[in-house]
Structure 1
Amino acid sequence: MRAALLAVCLAAAPAAAQESAPETSEEEDGLSLMEEGARLFFRGIMSELDPALRELEGLTRELEPAVRDFAREMGPALRDLLGRVEDWSAYHPPEMLPNGDIIMRRKEPLEEPPAETEAPSGPVDL
């Protein structure tokens, strides 16, 4: 009997050792797979966009002096225009006419104030 009990205890020890490994739930596995997929996706997007972003950076370096000159020359006129226009959403985009003039049309024309009737020039009877 001792031998049988010893055999059962020795056989159960390896089985218990195998079961002691931590189990992960299906949700945790799915979440980690989703995280890894998202990480790979964004890494791929960044590697694709990197050359375009570097090219854009070079373009901005080239255009910076021209933009600074434009702002210096046109700044006062643009400030004046911004002071005159109260609501930009009330206007259509600017249009260039054949003669080179640039106009901005209102989306809805202003209502004309009612014309005042002329008062009679003679004496008024009350």
Structure 2
Amino acid sequence: MKQISAAVLTFGLLAAPLMAEEEAPSERGLSLMERGARLFMEGILDEMEPALDGVEGLAQQMAPALRNFAKEMGPKLSEILEDVEDWNAYQAPEMLPNGDIIIRRKPDHPLVPPETPTEPEPQIEI
């Protein structure tokens, strides 16, 4: 019995370093910091997975409404984008109590005069 337990103990002591040195093929050649960073990121992704699944479901629910909005408002929004030359000249949109939405020009931006067609001025005979 002593011989069997000595053999098992010897085998266990010899096998322990071999088992400790075995690494996953993807972790060979990585430093301790790199392995730690990888484990940290995997942990964060595991924690975030339920929240990301919820966002995916919300996106699927909102897709028809967003398509409808783009279909109805798209042409008008593109007209506005063509008319406004510099969006930095305006403040953030503001909703008034009656529901109107206004976008005010920033006071420190100069007013850009509208482009007028360059037609020659009429000549006057003196």
Normalised TM-score (structure 2) = 0.60
Q: Which has the larger radius of gyration?
A: 1
Residue 105 in structure 1 maps to residue 104 in structure 2: yes
AA of the residue aligned to 2:43: G
Normalising by the residue count of structure 1, what TM-score does the alignment of the two structures yield? 0.60
**Misfit runs of 4+, over 2 Å:** 108-113
**Residue 61 of structure 1 corresponds to which residue in structure 2?**
60
Query: Residue 100 of structure 2 aligns to which amino acid in structure 1?
Result: D
1:82 aligned onto 2:81? yes
CA deviation map 1:22-78 (0-9, x unaligned): xxxxxxxxx611011001100001001111111100000000000000000101110
Aligned length: 83
Which residue number corresponds to residue 15 of structure 1?
none
Query: What corresponds to 2:95 in structure 1?
Result: 96
Classify 1:111/1:38 alpha carbon distance in 2 versus 1 (closer, same or farther; 3 Å): closer
**Aligned-residue identity in percent:** 60
Displacement of 1:99: 2.1
Structure 2 unaligned segments of length 5 or more: list them.
Answer: 1-29, 114-126
- Structure 2: how far apart are the matches of 1:89 and 1:51? 39
User: 2:111 & 2:87 partners in 1: Cα distance?
Assistant: 18
* 1:21-60 equivalence runs, <5 A: 32-60=31-59
CA root-mean-square deviation: 1.9
